[in-house]
Amino acid sequence: MKISKQDVLHVARLAELAVDDAELETLTGQLDRIVEYVAQLEALPSEQTATSFHPGPAAVRLRADVVAPVPLARPPEAFAPAMRDGLFVVPRLGAQEDA
């Protein structure tokens, strides 16, 4: 077993995903199966290291510093789940968590 229930709960918290007890068992099994499967990458001879690869352009093209936002066909109010006085609102964070 590469993945334990604790691992699943740990990454679920990092990913802010609720995982209920009923599905924890199944999910742990599936994740273990997936991680076991991808772990075969370890079998590749270690002398075969290389730099990472991205198929896009070799260098990023920069944008001129011009104020030209992509227009919104409708304002945030049209899609926000909750907004007051133009501000998105969510339940308050613990006061000491603000950084």
- Residues of this chain, 32-61, that bind another protein according to CB under 8 A: 33-35, 37-42, 44, 48-61
The dihedral over CA atoms of 44, 45, 50, 54, expressed in degrees to the nearest 10, equals -10
Q: Does 25 bind another protein (CB under 8 A)?
A: no
Q: Least distance (Å) from another protein to the CB of residue 91?
A: 5
How buried is 24 (Cβ within 10 angstroms: 0-12 exposed, 13-18 middle, 19+ buried)? middle
The residue (of 25 and 33) whose beta carbon lies closer to another protein is: 33
Q: Does 95 bind another protein (CB under 8 A)?
A: yes
Q: Are 84 and 90 in contact (CB under 8 A)?
A: no
Q: Which of 1, 16, 21, 22 binds another protein (CB under 8 A)?
A: 16
Instruction: Report the run of H or E that residue 83 belongs to, with start and end.
Output: strand 83-84
Q: Least distance (Å) from another protein to the CB of residue 53?
A: 4
